[in-house]
Structure 1
């Protein structure tokens, strides 16, 4: 290797450098070839999880070797590419064969076809490095099926077989996905082909619990937020509203079943009705919902009918209509998604139905809806109706990923009804920031002031339309990033001297090991040509320049010492951001850490010069604005945790003018949710045994052929566990679910978590709002999945009693775990 010849003076005989190099090169080549050959063998055996593991080994091997020898790195890459090409060839051959059968005049039997595409699904899910290629080929095959004359019928039968009829093969206790699991997940992933089957599963779970309108209303309760005492409900008013909705929706549903209704007719009817309401009752450009209350059920029926039609394939709807006209299989109708009475009642409560002694305005309202009860559907449909009446609507939740998911689900509805521009989904903090932005360009005014120009304030952006705030989960108002926090506006001031100062600080970063070092470095900079030039040029801003240069020095110390919050470099977004719930927010800034993180990662930037020019600037404070300072016309929301709020949290909700909440029964009927019988859910360990206790808990679960998800308080603690001797000795390789993953990868790992033998190590933010869904019948039979959370340790960490990612010496730490079945 390079430099070995320099060792010759220190050894008794000449070092055979060339011979050693040749042997090492040969050993590396053989090792790469062995990994590739093992992967090829496992591909023939259809051990796809192991194939992916070997691809990853080759990737890592190539990265390590390339640092020493680019030629050897290319050789390993060739082995990896050879294995990848074999997998692609297998996928292409399977897909081509399946497509040919799909286009065949002869009817392909469902079980044979299901077996073909289940194998493709296994490759898709178990070899994520090729998931785009495999997914596209699978979709091509299913598109060929849907193009058949009997495509809708065949896909329905195929979907039902994938859900219930694919046979088990072998043992997948090591976390390898079983064929039935892959088949069921395939139906869930490609809903555009299997909507009717997905609807059938949902309807089976909910429609059998569907009660008469009066019975649904009788179980509804209204309670005071403050005292939890029951409040009067006008049950007759609610029941009348629900019956009116059902009458309008029922008429359209009958037309739908006779193939006499399409989306254009639904939209035309809704537009005509809204136009009438605007002409009769308009206040400016909007309609007061209270004035047209009697018309709300009709508008809501149009929205829900659109939902019914867009959640069911057109070809399938025609198939149902034909079957009903011929008096054939009525079971096909169960594949059409229809709203549940409970979901309709929740929306009607927003519009004042059931309010006793109501005033001239709608009352802010909160509805408690259980998990799986369709909260996103309730908010999406309510948003559409409010927007049709001329309101601007903001739908907020705590997670950016969930906001994107829900907005995507209803984008077609908003577009078709012509209200897309009136509805926006976001985190609640983003909503507050957008409100501040309407006051004017504060940053521009600040820069003008610093540069000695007379600030010219543009007119604030006022909206003529009133605004409705809809929220998903009441604890958005209690979020640590929202309650008591401020939106601190910073203006970036660019100047060549400022860039030079930041670069000089980065070049001398090794000198900063303490805050005192940072202070001394700052004193040194104040005598530099760049600093003195800035002060001379902008005398009125001398104080700001001095305080910000001091802040630069402090930020350098905090960056080098990894003082939280820690900046993350996001390769996908090509930016530096900070952890906000379950995502990396590149708009967030913490002093000058972002600038230093970009300098540290400049070699990973695709356009380094431009990015550095944008970010190497002085951050000038422009003002602080309270996130909680919001004042929409109305606030409505859904939540599953209202009853669990403590007195202080309830007072915070009341502060927003939400005085009451409504409880509605579950769409799944009376809940029989319970933890499995276990007397060891909480165990207490010495702090020094913390990581060992987690590893033991994981091994016990995996030995029982179940799955486990461990929620760590933070990513550093998770990584400390992985770096420990206990983390490296787990029975199978775990997958990590952390905030800095790209969105698609988070979804993939979430869906993979509830598989027999799977170990998932996640940060705590994924403990809520994440859809951990099981398609694995063996997992259910073995007792479901186990969730493990060191809850007390999390509280100690927040209160400052934990140091260095572990509890202090002599501390006791409860490890809380529970097991439960999944659906």
Structure 2
């Protein structure tokens, strides 16, 4: 017995002594890394508990062997810290670190984090090591912050920001904290200089550096939102209506008709912006005018109105929708006091977005009938705005609109982006954003809780749930974001089968009987003759065919069911391998 225990202790010690902390399990994914250190912790705890056996004659000093093992692990943890210190020396000296250097730092640092989190049974001074690492990193970050606060040279300020952002981008563990520091520094810089165009001047310097770091500063930090918007607007101005129509690919399009509609839209939009672009302007008149033009069209599935009168309202409504959208988000414009291109600080749509909406609504076709359409808008070209404006326009024209997306996060983000305009024009209740399953659930429950209704109908023979089926429903239109995802194997061609569960003591008794008698190789006739089956059939007299099918499935399943072999010992369950 002692010999066996001795062999096991020595085997664990040998395994841990030879175990490298940086290995295939700790180099890739955090979950694998945490699992590795968790198992390491379990083995260390076993050895720690084995110290009580030192009084027995094992042929070696148990305590010394275990302590040597612990020292071996501690040395390996120290080696990791030593490698990090080499990185930190170059980092503090700004010695031009490469992405590979950062990768090694992240590898070592993440191992220390996992070790601290998972290894509870040994003291390797991990906390002290991690605290020192973070202090050195953030001491350097603080130095760059102070340079921004004290410097008057925009070039030097931009260099300090680039240095901070470079660390943020390359060390994910510190990303959030450093980004918060950058946000604070930018706000303080803007307030300290008291120059209204301080951020745009800084942005102009940053944008000269074409690296990913400067691009991410402008794209990710709130202080640069107005400047980023200005850059985007300047870029899209090159793609006017002529450029868009020239590159429009589709059959049987009357491009001259599209161009005429666009110019009508543009004239109304610009006029509305010119009239209303004032601080704290009241938009009630514009809102009322938009609703008046929309009218009160009753669109039902059996009677969709899409005549020339309705189509002629589209351009006028769209111009007002986008005017509201621009005016309600004009704060960047009013903040940009001393910039030459002040108008570029307004949220604007571009010609391709307007034409995309026209084409989704079949404008430009020979008959301009409302029908299914597919429009390609690439990433970054304003797909969310196009969908939001189209949904709003259709809701004003009497439809219920469902915008389906594969991602709940993206769906909610896009919805929130247009929610203010939805609310302003009173159509929020007619527009639904969500993933496919969510929209489907809303649709099947639009009149009543269908699952609850089915359960009550089977259980009681009646349905007391109030139904809204008498309401006249608006016609529905589905707008699909990322339509290629819809055509994937997860959605297109698949069937969604909603189900509900029946609960009753007679059902429980019947299933328990079949389970307890599973080794008897029951057949259907035997089950039908049991009191449990009779009671269940009497409870649901109109649903015996349903009960029969369920029983058939149960009989088959318990025959083919294979359970893991296990034993119970001392209130513990163990599975046989």
Same fold (TM over 0.5): yes
Q: What secondary structure sits across from 1:425 in the alignment?
A: strand
Change (3 A) 1:134 1:543: farther
2:201 alignment partner, one of 154, 157, 166: 157
Q: CA deviation at 1:21?
A: 1.9
Q: Is the 8 A contact 2:296 2:398 kept in 1?
A: no
Q: Residue 727 of structure 1 aligns with which residue?
A: none
Change (3 A) 1:549 1:456: farther
Change (3 A) 1:81 1:479: same
Q: CA deviation at 1:393?
A: 1.5
Structure with the larger RCO, 1 or 2 (CA within 8 Å, 6+ apart): 1
Q: Partners in 1 of 2:428 and 2:362 — Cα distance?
A: 25
Q: Partners in 1 of 2:256 and 2:69 — Cα distance?
A: 85
Q: Partners in 2 of 1:552 and 1:94 — Cα distance?
A: 69
Q: Residue 97 of structure 1 aligns with which residue?
A: 146
Q: CA deviation at 1:236?
A: 4.3
Q: Partners in 2 of 1:415 and 1:534 — Cα distance?
A: 57
Change (3 A) 1:547 1:317: farther
1:182 alignment partner, one of 207, 213, 216: 213
Please list, as runs of the form range in 1=range in 2, the aligned pairs for 1:630-645 lying within 5 A after superposition: none
Q: Residue 645 of structure 1 aligns with which residue?
A: none
| Residue 206 (structure 2) pairs with residue 193 (structure 1) | no
Q: CA deviation at 1:305?
A: 3.3
Q: Residue 261 of structure 2 aligns with which residue?
A: 241
Q: Partners in 2 of 1:57 and 1:15 — Cα distance?
A: 33
Q: Is the 8 A contact 1:8 1:15 kept in 2?
A: no
Q: CA deviation at 1:247?
A: 0.6
Please list, as runs of the form range in 1=range in 2, the aligned pairs for 1:401-800 lying within 5 A after superposition: 401-448=409-456, 451=459, 454-460=462-468, 464-475=473-484, 478-492=487-501, 523-524=518-519, 538-539=536-537, 540=540, 543=548, 546=551, 549=554
Q: CA deviation at 1:410?
A: 3.1
Q: Residue 342 of structure 1 aligns with which residue?
A: 352
More moved, 363-372 vs 481-490: 363-372
| Residue 323 (structure 2) pairs with residue 305 (structure 1) | yes
> Which whole-Å deviations, capped at 9, do the CAs of 1:207-243 have from their partners, x for residues lacking one?
223244xx754664543xxxxxxx3x44443232111
Q: Is the 8 A contact 2:229 2:344 kept in 1?
A: yes
Q: Residue 28 of structure 1 aligns with which residue?
A: 73
Aligned alpha-carbon RMSD (Å): 4.5
1:17 alignment partner, one of 62, 65, 86: 62
Q: Residue 61 of structure 1 aligns with which residue?
A: 115
> Which whole-Å deviations, capped at 9, do the CAs of 1:658-679 have from their partners, x for residues lacking one?
xxxxxxxxxxxxxxxxxxxxxx
Q: What secondary structure sits across from 1:72 in the alignment?
A: coil
1:250 alignment partner, one of 254, 266, 270: 270
> Which whole-Å deviations, capped at 9, do the CAs of 1:524-559 have from their partners, x for residues lacking one?
4999xxxx99868745485466466568769987x9
Q: CA deviation at 1:18?
A: 0.9
Tell which structure's C-alpha radius of gyration is larger.
2
| Residue 155 (structure 2) pairs with residue 111 (structure 1) | yes
Q: Partners in 2 of 1:127 and 1:444 — Cα distance?
A: 51
| Residue 78 (structure 2) pairs with residue 83 (structure 1) | no
Change (3 A) 1:316 1:38: farther
Q: Partners in 1 of 2:419 and 2:354 — Cα distance?
A: 20
Please list, as runs of the form range in 1=range in 2, the aligned pairs for 1:45-56 lying within 5 A after superposition: 45-46=90-91, 48-56=102-110
> Which whole-Å deviations, capped at 9, do the CAs of 1:683-728 have from their partners, x for residues lacking one?
xxxxxxxxxxxxxxxxxxxxxxxxxxxxxxxxxxxxxxxxxxxxxx
Q: CA deviation at 1:32?
A: 2.7
Structure 1, unaligned stretches of length 5 or more? 102-106, 167-179, 224-230, 324-328, 505-518, 561-599, 601-823
Q: Partners in 1 of 2:377 and 2:271 — Cα distance?
A: 28
Q: CA deviation at 1:302?
A: 2.8
1:39 alignment partner, one of 84, 87, 91: 84
How many residue pairs match? The answer is 491
| Residue 415 (structure 2) pairs with residue 397 (structure 1) | no
- Comparing both structures, which one devotes a greater share of its residues to helix? 2
Q: CA deviation at 1:49?
A: 4.2
| Residue 234 (structure 2) pairs with residue 210 (structure 1) | no
Q: CA deviation at 1:125?
A: 2.0
Change (3 A) 1:287 1:198: farther
Q: Residue 19 of structure 2 aligns with which residue?
A: none
Q: Residue 356 of structure 1 aligns with which residue?
A: 366
Change (3 A) 1:315 1:399: closer
> Which whole-Å deviations, capped at 9, do the CAs of 1:600-620 have from their partners, x for residues lacking one?
9xxxxxxxxxxxxxxxxxxxx
| Residue 172 (structure 2) pairs with residue 128 (structure 1) | yes
> Which whole-Å deviations, capped at 9, do the CAs of 1:752-808 have from their partners, x for residues lacking one?
xxxxxxxxxxxxxxxxxxxxxxxxxxxxxxxxxxxxxxxxxxxxxxxxxxxxxxxxx
Structure 2, unaligned stretches of length 5 or more? 1-46, 92-96, 523-529, 541-545, 565-572
Q: Residue 563 of structure 1 aligns with which residue?
A: none
- Comparing both structures, which one devotes a greater share of its residues to strand? 1
Q: CA deviation at 1:127?
A: 2.2
Q: Is the 8 A contact 2:254 2:365 kept in 1?
A: yes
